[in-house]
A and B are shown apart, each in its own frame.
Chain A
Amino acid sequence: NAGVTQTPKFQVLKTGQSMTLQCAQDMNHEYMSWYRQDPGMGLRLIHYSVGAGITDQGEVPNGYNVSRSTTEDFPLRLLSAAPSQTSVYFCASRYSGRTYEQYFGPGTRLTVT
């Protein structure tokens, strides 16, 4: 198993550009989520999904879109990047309803200039 994979690992964007952060898992997990990590702020939940076709907002959803067309993939889209979106982004997944253990991807460091 590859676990949770994220691409790219690093990205630099200019203000106003769009991009998609990719996240995939091969563990057949129903629950997937995106967090952002900022210094002194911990990990904050952006969006999450409890299964294909079902997504919902977390604590800090503004400026981000998600979709879940398959169980394996959960991409995060920035439609018009802003400097405030400079952060490290983590994707995570787990079985929902059965276990507490959450698996994290390696993270994507995004810089918006």
Chain B
Amino acid sequence: AQTVTQSQPEMSVQEAETVTLSCTYDTSENNYYLFWYKQPPSRQMILVIRQEAYKQQNATENRFSVNFQKAAKSFSLKISDSQLGDTAMYFCAFMKGLNRDDKIIFGKGTRLHILP
């Protein structure tokens, strides 16, 4: 069974700094999908970034980028020039594939505080 581990329950950084959230996962699959979701205080789940395992290039979305290390089964999220609006719970997630019954498995989350 696949598992997703986020080792940092909570983090705080100053506004404008860069922060990296860690995620490791365990799978025997070769092709799969990895995600980072953001959950602000509004509780809404927002997809921040995704990575397909067959792609070697790390995904980037504006200030958000990932460091995908397939052999190490590591998928960290880097937030550059952090903003107060980045304060949220962040979940790392894994999906085995796009088959009809493939499920998204979530880590336990990292609560990120951006300090003014």
Contacts and interface: CB of A to CB of B under 8 A. Distances in A.
Interface of A: 30-31, 33, 35, 40-45, 48, 50-51, 56, 58, 88, 90, 92, 96-102, 104, 106-107
Contacts of A43: 91, 106
Interface residues of B, number: 24
Contacts of B103: 33, 45, 48, 58
Interface of B: 4, 6, 9, 33, 35, 43-45, 47, 50, 91, 95, 98-109
B43 A42 contact: no
A56 B47 CA distance: 25
10 contacts: A31-B101, A41-B108, A45-B104, A50-B100, A50-B101, A88-B43, A92-B104, A99-B98, A100-B50, A107-B44
A65 B45 CA distance: 24
Contact of A96 (B6, B9, B43, B100): B100
A58 B102 CA distance: 11
A48 B101 contact: yes
Contacts of A44: 106
Given A100-B33, A106-B44, A42 B100 contact: no
Given A40-B9, A56-B101, A100 B35 contact: yes
Contacts of A97: 98-100
Contacts of A33: 103
Contacts of A41: 108
A99 B50 CA distance: 12
